[in-house]
C-alpha cells in the first residue's frame, strides 16, 4: 500500500504541474487532480483491505494542502452562529419587551373616560 500511495501522489504531482500558480485556489481547476488523488488513495485502500481514511492517506492529503493550497483563503467571510449566551439574550430581549409594550399601549390608550 505504501508503494501504491506513492504512485497516487506522483500522479497528483504530475496533474498539478499543469496548474499555474494563479489557478491553485480555483476549485474548478484543481478539482480533478484533487479528486484523482483522493479516489486513488481510497480505491487502493479498499482493494487491499485497508481502512479508509487511514494515516498514510491522510498524510498525502495534508501534504497536498501544505504544498499547493496553504495560501488559499476564502473570498467571502464564513459566518458562524453566535455563542449561546448572546443568542439567548437576542431571543429573550424581544420576548421580555412584549408585555411591557402591551401594558404601555393599554395605559396610554386609556383617557380616563368610560367608553
Per-residue cell: 4: 501504491
Per-residue confidence at 81, pLDDT binned at 50, 70, 90? confident
pLDDT tens per residue across span 10-39: 999 999 999 998 898 888 999 999 999 999
Domain 1-70 belongs to what topology?
Answer: DNA polymerase; domain 1 (1.10.150)
Three-state secondary structure of 58-78: HHHHHHHHHHHHCCCCCCCCC
Q: Show me where the domains of the chain are located.
A: 1-70, 81-114
pLDDT at position 70? 84
- pLDDT of 66 > 60? The answer is yes
Query: Cβ neighbours of residue 56 under 8 Å, at least 6 residues apart?
Result: 1, 2, 5
DSSP string covering the chain: -HHHHHHHHHHHHHHHTTS-GGGTT-HHHHHHHHHHHHHHHHHHHHHTT--SS-HHHHHHHHHHIIIIITT---SSPPP-PPPHHHHHHHHHHHHHHHHHHHHHHHHHH--SS--
Amino acid at each position: 500500500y505504501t508503494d501504491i500511495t506513492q504512485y497516487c501522489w506522483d500522479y497528483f504531482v504530475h496533474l498539478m504541474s499543469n496548474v499555474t500558480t494563479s489557478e491553485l485556489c480555483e476549485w474548478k481547476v484543481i478539482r480533478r487532480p484533487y479528486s484523482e488523488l483522493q479516489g486513488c488513495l481510497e480505491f487502493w485502500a479498499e482493494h487491499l483491505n485497508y481502512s479508509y481514511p487511514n494515516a498514510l492517506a491522510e498524510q498525502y492529503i495534508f501534504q497536498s494542502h501544505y504544498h499547493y493550497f496553504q495560501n488559499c483563503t476564502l473570498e467571502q467571510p464564513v459566518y458562524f452562529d453566535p455563542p449561546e449566551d448572546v443568542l439567548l439574550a437576542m431571543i429573550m430581549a424581544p420576548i421580555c419587551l412584549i408585555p411591557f409594550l402591551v401594558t404601555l399601549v393599554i395605559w396610554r390608550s386609556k383617557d380616563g373616560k368610560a367608553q
